[in-house]
Structure 1
């Protein structure tokens, strides 16, 4: 009640902040989709890592074009198709996830269109990374100089939108081998391989500092109320069936296509 009164006093809309630690990314995406479609409240979700490595693809992504499927199947890496657009990312305990779910009328000057939302997010993270390296928003990516450390995706409904980011605090270089070089890539990538194109945030600032600075930046636009995970159940009512899902082994095998037979020669 106190926070709500303060929010009204200074004229800022209320935002519920949920802080998670190592929550499985599939569970997080299901939660985000439910809150976008069933809640009428603003939400910020910060998840500090996910429990096991996974590959997350955009809603229109095609495994055959984006993944080294043979390696994915061999290593039994889960592949998730999320409800938002955007590219493909390998996530694990070194990834920090930040999600903003907003009513379109609660962020003045932001229109419910991708470019407008991205521009606003760039201003938000300018506050977070002020004085740290050469932070920029470049072609929908967050970068230090010309190396990417944050990938974004969005979904927009009639009255609400979601903007979520996977921040590469750290990553295992071997995981990059699961990803093909995308046919469509930002111009600034200049055909660089994954490890030449991305960078680790841990080279620039402490993990806890990033999370705290992000919370402080959100507080310049919203009156923030810390809530626990159980509170997310309240506004959503009836059972919700998310569209975000885990791809089956059969789907991946079909995307891989027929493989040539290896004929042994007896001696």
Structure 2
């Protein structure tokens, strides 16, 4: 146990951990750290001042790292224990219990403690034994864990434990599963498995939202998982924790009563594409139908999210759009089916996503076939960001390199020979019902190599594409920008979208408000401030609480 190391990726420290001076109190800043694992046993802190984290195999050391699980968690684990899926192996191999191994003399814990006490000043940090938080997990027999058989062997599921920020659990792997996990990581050149790899390639059953964030001694004896404490991603799953809905409910209530016609710009900072789409589905289904005086424009610069995803339309099937589904997932690329129609796009660090979500009361004559043209006219054209070559053709935003077009607004192609001079600079998709509509756009700041590596050529293409492959007809949005604006970076483009997009529409309304949502925001501004100030700040917890109100979201990982 002495001198062992743990590798963490963006790990959050739980309650009661000694934190080194160069580590923030509420977690790491998204990097990988190696730290001494010489830890605290029976209430004695062996190396005060060193950064520590509970090790998965030694979580039974009764470290008070995690807060106690809720009663709901315990009930869920009991149900798991006796479910037909997670069969019970009670009483099997009792020697797997850490303390049983101590009693059997396999682990010379007293000798180790004596050696450590001679070399370090022992400082009591907790009361011992059953007074220590989560002591019960320290005496849990592995044979009592629910388990499931995968194509590669059995896996064991630990109980769930939470701190103020995350819920944690461990999935203990047997040899066959461990070997397959190593093979997957070797092929994709990564240190951590993605959720899609865990579920679809290893065959491990998990509710959505879990992140593999820590590896112990560069071994995969177990998957160490976490997910945000309040988030619920599962389709059709009951909430696993008590979620405070008062802020979200209050916000919807105020929006429904709002007399002013307002254009809300949501700038998402660090929110991944899955949560972005789920939040947009929340706005479309829960908010826009009752907020007749409001329009919501969302901007997300994915150069700051680390997203790598294939995003398909509602009716999309992965094998129809992706060259090799298994290989794509093994590379850590998530395949998502969104709640809107349209085609398939790549979203990664090269992408800036925008979405307009509004009540049909703001566009009384709009129809499903008019959404793209309406958005082009009211949100993008004439806002000062784009040049004269920026057009809307066949549901796509394009640039054309011709000196003349037969059509004044470039909405038609009269001469088929012109199509080879027209290039796509944004992929669009829509959704529509009698109360609300959605228009998505994905602007490539640079052309991602994943477009040609991952995506098949679609069977249905716009006429202007003229059979060209992806690289031949897609261009960076920079080709469509007004040079007078001097937008040289993707961050400048993002800020200009937040400032200027939708000016025509917002000028017809009473007010324009900027709402920034950040993953590093500790607390949300008072909900009432959104209606009083033209600029406000929300935490990611607000997004997660909003997502949790969706009973059966259509947006999901495939």
Same-fold call, TM cutoff 0.5: yes
Which of the residues 294, 297, 301 maps onto 1:44?
A: 297
Report the alpha carbon displacement of residue 21 of structure 1 after superposing the two structures with TM.
2.4
Unpaired runs of 5+ residues, structure 1, are 248-267
Which of 287, 309, 317 is the aligned partner of 1:62? 317
Aligned residue for 1:97, secondary structure, equals strand
Partner in structure 2 of residue 262 of structure 1: none
Q: Give 1:185 deviation, angstroms.
A: 0.5
1:159 aligns with 2:412: no
Q: Indicate conservation of the 8 Å contact 1:129/1:135, yes or no.
A: no
Distance 1:94 1:127, change over 3 A: same
Residue 199 of structure 1 is matched in structure 2 by 475
Match of 1:21 in 2: 269
Please say which structure displays the higher CA radius of gyration: 2
Check 1:168–1:152 CA distance in 2 against 1; reply closer, same or farther (3 A cut).
same
From 360, 377, 392, the counterpart of 1:123 = 377
Q: Which runs of 5+ in 2 are unaligned?
A: 1-254, 401-421, 482-486, 518-523, 528-537
Contact 1:80 1:246 in 2 (8 A): yes
> Which structure carries more relative contact order (alpha carbon 8 Å, separation 6+)?
1
How far does residue 102 in structure 1 lie from its aligned partner after superposition? Answer: 0.7
Q: Alpha-carbon deviations, 1:17-70, whole Å to 9, x = none? A: 211123200000000001111113321111112422111000011211111125
Name the structure 1 match of 2:423.
147
**Contact 1:55–1:77 (Cα < 8 Å) also in 2:** yes
Counterpart residue number, 1:104: 360
8 Å Cα contact 2:301-2:351 kept in structure 1: yes
Q: 2:500 aligns with which of 192, 196, 213?
A: 213
Deviation, structure 1 residue 176 = 2.4
Distance 2:335 2:547 in 1: 29
Q: How does the TM-score come out when normalised to structure 2?
A: 0.39
Q: How far has the Cα of 1:123 moved from its partner?
A: 1.1
Aligned CA RMSD, in angstroms, stands at 2.7
When residues 94 and 131 of structure 1 are mapped into structure 2, their CA distance, relative to the original with a 3 A threshold, is: closer
Contact 2:279–2:546 (CA<8 Å) still a contact in 1?
A: no
Deviation at 1:115, TM superposition (A): 2.0
Q: For residue 200 of structure 2, what is the aligned residue in structure 1?
A: none
User: Which of 336, 345, 348 is residue 89 of structure 1 equivalent to?
Assistant: 345
Q: Deviations over 1:70-125 (max 9, x none)?
A: 541342310000000010001112211111111111235x42x2222222112132
Aligned to 2:513: 225
Q: Structure 1 length as normaliser, TM-score?
A: 0.79
